[in-house]
Amino acid sequence: MSLLIKNGRIITASEDFFGDILCEEEVIAQIAPHIDAGKNIEVIDASGKYVFPGFIDPHVHIYLPFMGTYAKDTYETASRAALVGGTTTLIEMCCPSRSEDPLESYELWLSRAAESGCDYTFHMGVSRFDDQTEGKLREIVNRGIASFKIFLAYKGALGINDEELFRTLALAKQLGVIVTAHCENETLVAQLQARLLSEGKTGPEWQNDSRPPHVEAEGVHHLMTFAEMTGAHVYCVHTSCREALQAVQEAQLRGVHAWVESVIPHFVLDKSYTEKPDFEGAKYVMSPPLRDETQHDALWAALRSRLISTVGTDHAPFDFIGQKDMGRDDFSKIPNGIPSVQDRVNILYTHGVCKGRIDLNTFVDAASTQAARLFGMYPRKGTIQVGSDADLVIYDPNYRGTLSVENQEMAVDYNAFEGWEIEGRPSAVTVRGKVQVRDGKFVGELGHGQLLTRKPTHF
Protein backbone atom coordinates (compact mmCIF):
# COMPACT_ATOMS: atom_id res chain seq x y z
CA MET A 1 0.00 0.00 0.00
CA SER A 2 1.19 3.52 -0.79
CA LEU A 3 1.69 5.98 2.04
CA LEU A 4 0.97 9.71 2.02
CA ILE A 5 2.33 11.99 4.72
CA LYS A 6 0.46 15.29 4.70
CA ASN A 7 0.92 18.75 6.15
CA GLY A 8 4.33 18.20 7.72
CA ARG A 9 7.21 20.60 8.18
CA ILE A 10 9.91 18.84 6.18
CA ILE A 11 13.45 19.28 7.49
CA THR A 12 16.63 18.08 5.79
CA ALA A 13 20.27 19.07 6.36
CA SER A 14 19.75 22.13 4.16
CA GLU A 15 16.00 22.67 3.68
CA ASP A 16 12.98 23.62 5.78
CA PHE A 17 9.54 23.75 4.13
CA PHE A 18 5.95 22.55 4.45
CA GLY A 19 4.60 19.87 2.15
CA ASP A 20 3.29 16.39 1.48
CA ILE A 21 5.30 13.25 0.74
CA LEU A 22 4.01 10.30 -1.28
CA CYS A 23 5.77 6.96 -0.76
CA GLU A 24 5.39 4.12 -3.26
CA GLU A 25 7.27 0.84 -3.68
CA GLU A 26 9.62 1.62 -0.77
CA VAL A 27 10.84 4.98 -2.08
CA ILE A 28 9.74 8.61 -2.06
CA ALA A 29 7.73 9.07 -5.25
CA GLN A 30 6.58 12.69 -4.96
CA ILE A 31 7.08 15.77 -2.79
CA ALA A 32 4.74 18.71 -3.28
CA PRO A 33 2.90 21.44 -1.38
CA HIS A 34 -0.30 19.42 -1.76
CA ILE A 35 -0.87 15.85 -2.93
CA ASP A 36 -4.38 14.39 -3.20
CA ALA A 37 -4.96 11.08 -1.47
CA GLY A 38 -6.14 8.49 -3.97
CA LYS A 39 -7.58 5.05 -3.37
CA ASN A 40 -5.59 2.45 -1.43
CA ILE A 41 -3.32 5.08 0.05
CA GLU A 42 -2.71 5.24 3.78
CA VAL A 43 -2.59 8.81 5.05
CA ILE A 44 -0.65 10.10 8.05
CA ASP A 45 -1.49 13.66 9.07
CA ALA A 46 1.73 15.36 10.18
CA SER A 47 0.14 18.71 11.04
CA GLY A 48 2.11 20.43 13.77
CA LYS A 49 4.95 17.93 13.40
CA TYR A 50 8.34 17.75 11.75
CA VAL A 51 9.15 15.23 9.04
CA PHE A 52 12.82 14.19 9.20
CA PRO A 53 14.76 11.68 7.10
CA GLY A 54 15.26 8.43 8.97
CA PHE A 55 18.11 8.79 11.42
CA ILE A 56 21.32 6.79 11.11
CA ASP A 57 23.39 5.60 14.06
CA PRO A 58 26.92 5.22 12.66
CA HIS A 59 28.33 3.40 15.69
CA VAL A 60 26.57 0.57 17.51
CA HIS A 61 27.52 -2.75 19.06
CA ILE A 62 24.78 -5.38 19.12
CA TYR A 63 26.48 -8.75 18.89
CA LEU A 64 29.57 -8.09 20.98
CA PRO A 65 31.82 -10.49 22.88
CA PHE A 66 33.69 -8.25 25.30
CA MET A 67 35.68 -8.75 28.49
CA GLY A 68 34.49 -12.32 28.93
CA THR A 69 30.79 -11.62 28.43
CA TYR A 70 28.36 -10.70 25.64
CA ALA A 71 26.29 -7.57 25.03
CA LYS A 72 22.66 -8.09 26.02
CA ASP A 73 20.86 -6.82 22.93
CA THR A 74 19.91 -8.85 19.89
CA TYR A 75 18.76 -7.31 16.63
CA GLU A 76 15.22 -7.96 17.81
CA THR A 77 15.61 -5.72 20.84
CA ALA A 78 18.14 -3.26 19.42
CA SER A 79 16.28 -2.59 16.18
CA ARG A 80 12.99 -2.12 18.04
CA ALA A 81 14.73 0.33 20.38
CA ALA A 82 16.38 2.14 17.48
CA LEU A 83 13.10 2.51 15.60
CA VAL A 84 11.14 3.75 18.60
CA GLY A 85 13.85 6.38 18.93
CA GLY A 86 13.67 7.36 15.25
CA THR A 87 16.75 5.52 13.98
CA THR A 88 16.03 3.60 10.78
CA THR A 89 19.57 2.50 9.87
CA LEU A 90 22.25 0.99 12.12
CA ILE A 91 25.94 0.65 11.31
CA GLU A 92 27.32 -2.06 13.56
CA MET A 93 30.96 -2.57 14.41
CA CYS A 94 31.98 -6.10 13.42
CA CYS A 95 34.77 -6.71 15.94
CA PRO A 96 36.61 -10.03 15.66
CA SER A 97 39.45 -10.69 18.08
CA ARG A 98 43.03 -11.04 16.87
CA SER A 99 42.66 -14.84 16.78
CA GLU A 100 39.50 -14.89 14.65
CA ASP A 101 39.20 -15.09 10.88
CA PRO A 102 37.80 -11.83 9.44
CA LEU A 103 35.63 -13.40 6.74
CA GLU A 104 34.14 -15.96 9.12
CA SER A 105 33.54 -13.19 11.65
CA TYR A 106 31.77 -11.02 9.10
CA GLU A 107 29.47 -13.90 8.19
CA LEU A 108 28.74 -14.50 11.89
CA TRP A 109 27.86 -10.84 12.53
CA LEU A 110 25.75 -10.76 9.37
CA SER A 111 23.78 -13.85 10.41
CA ARG A 112 22.83 -12.18 13.71
CA ALA A 113 21.15 -9.29 11.87
CA ALA A 114 18.54 -11.31 9.98
CA GLU A 115 15.76 -10.40 12.45
CA SER A 116 16.36 -6.65 12.27
CA GLY A 117 13.39 -4.34 11.95
CA CYS A 118 15.53 -1.55 10.47
CA ASP A 119 18.15 -1.48 7.74
CA TYR A 120 21.76 -2.15 8.65
CA THR A 121 25.34 -2.39 7.50
CA PHE A 122 28.76 -2.87 9.12
CA HIS A 123 32.17 -1.40 9.70
CA MET A 124 34.55 -4.35 9.29
CA GLY A 125 36.98 -4.63 12.19
CA VAL A 126 40.65 -5.20 11.39
CA SER A 127 42.24 -6.61 14.54
CA ARG A 128 45.31 -8.05 12.85
CA PHE A 129 46.95 -7.77 9.44
CA ASP A 130 48.94 -10.75 8.24
CA ASP A 131 49.59 -12.32 4.84
CA GLN A 132 46.05 -13.74 4.61
CA THR A 133 44.22 -10.61 5.75
CA GLU A 134 44.30 -8.55 2.56
CA GLY A 135 42.49 -11.10 0.39
CA LYS A 136 39.74 -11.57 2.96
CA LEU A 137 39.24 -7.84 3.42
CA ARG A 138 39.03 -7.41 -0.35
CA GLU A 139 36.31 -10.05 -0.45
CA ILE A 140 34.35 -8.32 2.32
CA VAL A 141 34.59 -5.01 0.45
CA ASN A 142 33.41 -6.75 -2.72
CA ARG A 143 30.36 -7.87 -0.74
CA GLY A 144 29.41 -4.25 -0.09
CA ILE A 145 31.15 -3.25 3.12
CA ALA A 146 32.92 0.05 2.43
CA SER A 147 34.38 0.91 5.83
CA PHE A 148 36.89 -0.62 8.24
CA LYS A 149 37.20 -0.27 12.02
CA ILE A 150 40.48 -0.28 13.90
CA PHE A 151 41.40 0.03 17.57
CA LEU A 152 44.45 1.89 18.79
CA ALA A 153 43.47 0.68 22.27
CA TYR A 154 42.80 -2.67 24.01
CA LYS A 155 46.34 -3.92 23.62
CA GLY A 156 46.55 -7.67 22.97
CA ALA A 157 42.82 -8.03 22.30
CA LEU A 158 41.50 -5.78 19.53
CA GLY A 159 44.35 -3.30 19.17
CA ILE A 160 46.69 -3.34 16.18
CA ASN A 161 50.38 -2.44 16.07
CA ASP A 162 51.93 0.26 13.88
CA GLU A 163 52.89 -2.09 11.06
CA GLU A 164 49.31 -3.36 10.93
CA LEU A 165 48.02 0.20 11.07
CA PHE A 166 50.14 1.22 8.10
CA ARG A 167 49.13 -1.83 6.03
CA THR A 168 45.43 -1.37 6.85
CA LEU A 169 45.42 2.30 5.88
CA ALA A 170 47.43 1.63 2.72
CA LEU A 171 44.93 -1.03 1.63
CA ALA A 172 42.00 1.23 2.51
CA LYS A 173 43.43 4.01 0.34
CA GLN A 174 43.84 1.59 -2.56
CA LEU A 175 40.26 0.29 -2.18
CA GLY A 176 38.61 3.65 -1.46
CA VAL A 177 37.48 2.51 1.97
CA ILE A 178 37.16 4.91 4.91
CA VAL A 179 38.73 3.73 8.17
CA THR A 180 36.96 4.39 11.45
CA ALA A 181 39.27 4.41 14.46
CA HIS A 182 39.13 4.21 18.24
CA CYS A 183 41.94 6.59 19.16
CA GLU A 184 43.71 6.17 22.49
CA ASN A 185 47.35 5.38 23.19
CA GLU A 186 47.14 1.76 24.35
CA THR A 187 50.50 1.76 26.12
CA LEU A 188 49.65 4.83 28.20
CA VAL A 189 46.26 3.35 29.11
CA ALA A 190 47.83 0.08 30.24
CA GLN A 191 50.48 1.83 32.31
CA LEU A 192 48.05 4.24 33.94
CA GLN A 193 45.63 1.43 34.77
CA ALA A 194 48.39 -0.61 36.38
CA ARG A 195 49.59 2.34 38.45
CA LEU A 196 46.12 3.27 39.71
CA LEU A 197 45.26 -0.31 40.63
CA SER A 198 48.57 -0.74 42.46
CA GLU A 199 47.61 2.30 44.55
CA GLY A 200 44.30 0.69 45.51
CA LYS A 201 42.28 2.95 43.22
CA THR A 202 39.92 0.30 41.93
CA GLY A 203 36.49 1.96 41.62
CA PRO A 204 34.76 3.16 38.45
CA GLU A 205 35.55 6.76 39.33
CA TRP A 206 39.18 6.10 38.32
CA GLN A 207 38.30 5.28 34.71
CA ASN A 208 38.82 8.90 33.67
CA ASP A 209 42.25 9.07 35.29
CA SER A 210 43.34 5.96 33.42
CA ARG A 211 42.42 7.47 30.04
CA PRO A 212 42.78 11.29 30.37
CA PRO A 213 42.16 13.64 27.43
CA HIS A 214 45.81 13.79 26.34
CA VAL A 215 45.86 10.00 25.97
CA GLU A 216 42.97 10.28 23.49
CA ALA A 217 44.56 13.26 21.74
CA GLU A 218 47.83 11.36 21.34
CA GLY A 219 45.93 8.49 19.76
CA VAL A 220 44.28 10.90 17.33
CA HIS A 221 47.63 12.52 16.48
CA HIS A 222 49.12 9.05 15.89
CA LEU A 223 46.30 8.13 13.50
CA MET A 224 46.62 11.44 11.67
CA THR A 225 50.33 10.89 11.06
CA PHE A 226 49.67 7.51 9.45
CA ALA A 227 46.72 8.87 7.46
CA GLU A 228 48.94 11.66 6.15
CA MET A 229 51.65 9.18 5.13
CA THR A 230 49.22 6.85 3.32
CA GLY A 231 46.60 9.27 2.00
CA ALA A 232 43.86 7.21 3.64
CA HIS A 233 40.54 8.73 4.69
CA VAL A 234 39.91 8.35 8.42
CA TYR A 235 37.06 8.92 10.86
CA CYS A 236 37.65 9.31 14.60
CA VAL A 237 34.91 7.61 16.57
CA HIS A 238 33.46 8.76 19.93
CA THR A 239 35.65 11.86 20.12
CA SER A 240 35.20 13.19 23.64
CA CYS A 241 37.34 16.28 24.30
CA ARG A 242 38.72 19.53 22.90
CA GLU A 243 42.27 18.15 22.91
CA ALA A 244 41.30 15.40 20.46
CA LEU A 245 39.26 17.83 18.36
CA GLN A 246 42.28 20.10 18.09
CA ALA A 247 44.46 17.21 16.91
CA VAL A 248 41.98 16.47 14.11
CA GLN A 249 41.64 20.10 13.13
CA GLU A 250 45.40 20.57 12.90
CA ALA A 251 45.60 17.52 10.63
CA GLN A 252 42.78 18.79 8.43
CA LEU A 253 44.70 22.03 7.96
CA ARG A 254 47.62 19.93 6.68
CA GLY A 255 45.31 18.30 4.14
CA VAL A 256 44.58 15.04 5.96
CA HIS A 257 41.23 13.53 4.99
CA ALA A 258 39.72 13.24 8.48
CA TRP A 259 36.23 13.38 9.96
CA VAL A 260 34.93 13.39 13.53
CA GLU A 261 32.20 11.46 15.31
CA SER A 262 31.08 12.18 18.86
CA VAL A 263 28.50 10.19 20.78
CA ILE A 264 25.52 11.41 22.76
CA PRO A 265 26.78 10.46 26.26
CA HIS A 266 29.78 12.77 25.89
CA PHE A 267 27.53 15.76 25.18
CA VAL A 268 25.32 15.46 28.25
CA LEU A 269 27.03 13.28 30.89
CA ASP A 270 30.22 14.02 32.79
CA LYS A 271 32.70 12.16 34.97
CA SER A 272 30.72 12.88 38.14
CA TYR A 273 28.34 10.12 37.06
CA THR A 274 31.13 7.55 37.48
CA GLU A 275 31.50 8.77 41.07
CA LYS A 276 28.00 7.66 42.09
CA PRO A 277 28.08 5.63 45.34
CA ASP A 278 27.50 1.90 45.77
CA PHE A 279 29.24 1.09 42.49
CA GLU A 280 26.43 2.85 40.55
CA GLY A 281 29.18 4.68 38.69
CA ALA A 282 29.93 1.49 36.78
CA LYS A 283 26.82 2.14 34.69
CA TYR A 284 28.68 5.08 33.15
CA VAL A 285 32.01 3.45 32.33
CA MET A 286 32.89 3.75 28.66
CA SER A 287 36.05 4.42 26.65
CA PRO A 288 37.03 7.14 26.07
CA PRO A 289 35.54 7.95 29.47
CA LEU A 290 33.09 10.65 30.42
CA ARG A 291 34.97 13.92 30.76
CA ASP A 292 34.82 16.98 32.96
CA GLU A 293 31.66 18.99 32.39
CA THR A 294 33.71 21.84 30.96
CA GLN A 295 34.26 19.72 27.83
CA HIS A 296 30.59 19.93 26.86
CA ASP A 297 30.78 23.46 25.45
CA ALA A 298 33.65 22.44 23.16
CA LEU A 299 31.65 19.54 21.73
CA TRP A 300 28.52 21.61 21.13
CA ALA A 301 30.58 24.34 19.48
CA ALA A 302 32.31 21.79 17.24
CA LEU A 303 28.93 20.35 16.30
CA ARG A 304 27.55 23.79 15.41
CA SER A 305 30.56 24.47 13.19
CA ARG A 306 30.29 20.98 11.64
CA LEU A 307 33.80 20.06 12.79
CA ILE A 308 31.93 17.19 14.39
CA SER A 309 30.22 15.50 11.44
CA THR A 310 28.12 12.86 13.18
CA VAL A 311 26.55 12.12 16.55
CA GLY A 312 26.25 8.39 17.25
CA THR A 313 25.96 6.32 20.41
CA ASP A 314 28.67 3.66 20.71
CA HIS A 315 25.71 1.64 22.01
CA ALA A 316 27.16 -1.25 24.02
CA PRO A 317 24.51 -2.78 26.31
CA PHE A 318 25.71 -4.61 29.43
CA ASP A 319 23.62 -5.25 32.53
CA PHE A 320 24.58 -3.52 35.75
CA ILE A 321 23.88 -6.71 37.71
CA GLY A 322 25.87 -9.68 36.47
CA GLN A 323 28.05 -7.88 33.91
CA LYS A 324 29.18 -4.40 34.95
CA ASP A 325 29.80 -5.75 38.45
CA MET A 326 32.46 -8.10 37.06
CA GLY A 327 34.75 -5.14 37.71
CA ARG A 328 33.64 -4.37 41.25
CA ASP A 329 37.21 -4.75 42.52
CA ASP A 330 38.97 -3.59 39.35
CA PHE A 331 37.57 -0.81 37.13
CA SER A 332 39.57 -2.13 34.16
CA LYS A 333 37.32 -5.22 34.13
CA ILE A 334 34.03 -3.32 33.89
CA PRO A 335 32.48 -4.01 30.46
CA ASN A 336 32.51 -0.67 28.64
CA GLY A 337 29.43 1.02 27.25
CA ILE A 338 26.43 3.25 27.91
CA PRO A 339 23.28 1.89 26.22
CA SER A 340 21.65 4.74 24.30
CA VAL A 341 20.47 3.62 20.84
CA GLN A 342 16.85 4.34 21.80
CA ASP A 343 17.46 7.73 23.40
CA ARG A 344 20.07 9.39 21.13
CA VAL A 345 17.72 11.37 18.89
CA ASN A 346 15.43 12.56 21.67
CA ILE A 347 18.35 13.68 23.85
CA LEU A 348 20.05 15.45 20.95
CA TYR A 349 16.80 17.24 20.11
CA THR A 350 15.99 18.13 23.73
CA HIS A 351 19.45 19.26 24.79
CA GLY A 352 20.59 20.52 21.40
CA VAL A 353 17.71 22.03 19.43
CA CYS A 354 15.41 22.96 22.31
CA LYS A 355 18.23 24.65 24.23
CA GLY A 356 19.35 26.60 21.19
CA ARG A 357 22.73 24.89 20.91
CA ILE A 358 22.11 23.66 17.35
CA ASP A 359 19.48 24.35 14.71
CA LEU A 360 17.20 21.83 13.05
CA ASN A 361 19.33 21.51 9.91
CA THR A 362 22.46 20.74 11.94
CA PHE A 363 20.44 18.24 13.98
CA VAL A 364 19.45 16.34 10.83
CA ASP A 365 22.91 16.63 9.31
CA ALA A 366 24.64 15.20 12.39
CA ALA A 367 22.11 12.48 13.18
CA SER A 368 21.45 11.30 9.62
CA THR A 369 22.85 13.01 6.53
CA GLN A 370 26.58 13.05 7.23
CA ALA A 371 26.62 9.35 8.11
CA ALA A 372 24.88 8.61 4.81
CA ARG A 373 27.38 10.72 2.89
CA LEU A 374 30.50 9.42 4.60
CA PHE A 375 29.55 5.75 4.45
CA GLY A 376 28.26 5.46 0.89
CA MET A 377 24.49 5.54 1.43
CA TYR A 378 23.56 9.01 0.18
CA PRO A 379 21.07 9.91 -1.32
CA ARG A 380 19.41 6.56 -0.79
CA LYS A 381 19.52 7.36 2.93
CA GLY A 382 19.96 10.54 4.91
CA THR A 383 17.69 12.92 3.02
CA ILE A 384 14.15 13.48 1.78
CA GLN A 385 14.05 13.63 -2.01
CA VAL A 386 12.34 11.80 -4.84
CA GLY A 387 13.98 8.40 -5.31
CA SER A 388 15.37 8.16 -1.77
CA ASP A 389 14.26 5.30 0.45
CA ALA A 390 11.05 6.18 2.26
CA ASP A 391 12.70 6.21 5.68
CA LEU A 392 10.84 8.97 7.47
CA VAL A 393 10.38 10.16 11.04
CA ILE A 394 7.24 12.12 11.89
CA TYR A 395 8.39 13.92 15.01
CA ASP A 396 6.07 15.49 17.58
CA PRO A 397 7.80 18.51 19.21
CA ASN A 398 4.93 18.91 21.67
CA TYR A 399 5.40 15.52 23.31
CA ARG A 400 6.67 15.53 26.88
CA GLY A 401 7.91 12.38 28.56
CA THR A 402 10.48 10.77 30.81
CA LEU A 403 13.25 8.32 29.95
CA SER A 404 13.26 5.16 32.05
CA VAL A 405 14.20 1.50 32.06
CA GLU A 406 10.48 0.89 32.47
CA ASN A 407 9.64 2.12 28.98
CA GLN A 408 12.71 1.12 26.97
CA GLU A 409 13.09 -1.61 24.37
CA MET A 410 16.82 -2.05 25.05
CA ALA A 411 17.53 -5.38 26.78
CA VAL A 412 19.48 -4.02 29.74
CA ASP A 413 18.56 -3.64 33.39
CA TYR A 414 19.09 0.11 33.65
CA ASN A 415 18.76 3.37 31.73
CA ALA A 416 21.70 5.76 32.01
CA PHE A 417 19.29 8.69 31.67
CA GLU A 418 16.73 7.45 34.20
CA GLY A 419 14.19 10.16 35.03
CA TRP A 420 15.44 12.62 32.39
CA GLU A 421 12.66 14.63 30.75
CA ILE A 422 12.48 14.89 26.96
CA GLU A 423 10.79 17.44 24.75
CA GLY A 424 9.61 15.70 21.61
CA ARG A 425 9.67 12.15 20.23
CA PRO A 426 8.90 10.25 17.03
CA SER A 427 5.18 9.67 16.66
CA ALA A 428 5.56 7.55 13.52
CA VAL A 429 8.57 5.97 11.83
CA THR A 430 8.77 4.32 8.42
CA VAL A 431 11.43 2.07 6.91
CA ARG A 432 11.25 1.95 3.12
CA GLY A 433 7.62 3.07 3.31
CA LYS A 434 6.51 0.55 5.91
CA VAL A 435 5.21 2.00 9.18
CA GLN A 436 7.27 0.42 11.95
CA VAL A 437 6.37 2.78 14.83
CA ARG A 438 3.12 4.49 15.80
CA ASP A 439 2.58 6.68 18.85
CA GLY A 440 5.96 5.75 20.24
CA LYS A 441 5.35 1.99 20.02
CA PHE A 442 6.87 -0.61 17.72
CA VAL A 443 4.03 -1.96 15.59
CA GLY A 444 5.99 -3.22 12.62
CA GLU A 445 7.72 -6.34 11.38
CA LEU A 446 10.99 -7.80 12.56
CA GLY A 447 13.04 -9.04 9.62
CA HIS A 448 11.92 -6.12 7.45
CA GLY A 449 15.42 -4.66 7.64
CA GLN A 450 17.86 -5.17 4.79
CA LEU A 451 21.62 -5.27 4.51
CA LEU A 452 22.80 -2.09 2.81
CA THR A 453 25.56 -2.85 0.34
CA ARG A 454 27.82 0.13 -0.27
CA LYS A 455 30.46 1.09 -2.80
CA PRO A 456 33.77 2.64 -1.70
CA THR A 457 33.93 6.38 -2.35
CA HIS A 458 37.05 7.51 -0.48
CA PHE A 459 39.77 7.21 -3.12
pLDDT class for 157, splitting at 50, 70, 90? confident
Q: What is the C-alpha separation between 271 and 384, in angstroms, rounded?
A: 38
**Concatenated DSSP letters for 220-253?**
HHHHHHHHHHH---EEE-S--SHHHHHHHHHHHH
Burial class (CB in 10 A: 0-12, 13-18, 19+), 373: buried
Q: Is 329 exposed, middle or buried (0-12, 13-18, 19+ CB in 10 A)?
A: exposed
Please state which of the ranges 145-159, 308-322, 425-439 shows the lowest mean pLDDT: 145-159
Domains and CATH numbers, the chain: 53-374 (3.20.20.140)
pLDDT in tens, 218-265: 999 999 999 999 999 999 999 999 999 999 999 999 999 999 999 999
Where residue 191 falls among pLDDT bands split at 50, 70, 90? Answer: very high
pLDDT confidence tier of residue 67, bands split at 50, 70 and 90: confident
Check whether 66 has a pLDDT greater than 90: no
pLDDT at 93: 97
Over residues 357-385, mean pLDDT: 98
pLDDT of residue 38: 83
Task: Answer yes or no: is pLDDT of 209 > 90.
Answer: yes
The closest alpha carbon to 256, from 274, 282, 230, belongs to 230
Write down the pLDDT at residue 457: 96
Confidence of residue 208 (pLDDT cuts 50, 70, 90): very high
pLDDT of 311: 98
Distance CA 369, CA 354 (A): 20
Among 63-67, 115-119, 130-134, 312-316, the least confident range = 63-67
Backbone angles phi, psi at 417, to 5 degrees: -115, 30
324-328: long-range contacts (C-beta < 8 A, 24 or more apart)?
324/282, 324/283, 324/285, 325/279, 325/282, 326/67, 326/68, 326/69, 327/204, 327/282, 327/285, 328/279, 328/282
pLDDT at site 154: 87
Measuring CA to CA, which residue among 100, 94, 192 is closest to residue 147? 94
Taking the C-alpha atoms of 397, 398, 404 and 406 in order, what is their torsion angle to the nearest 10 degrees? -120
Contact assessment for residue 152 and residue 158, using Cβ atoms and an 8 Å cutoff: no
Integer Cα distance of 442 and 446 in angstroms: 10
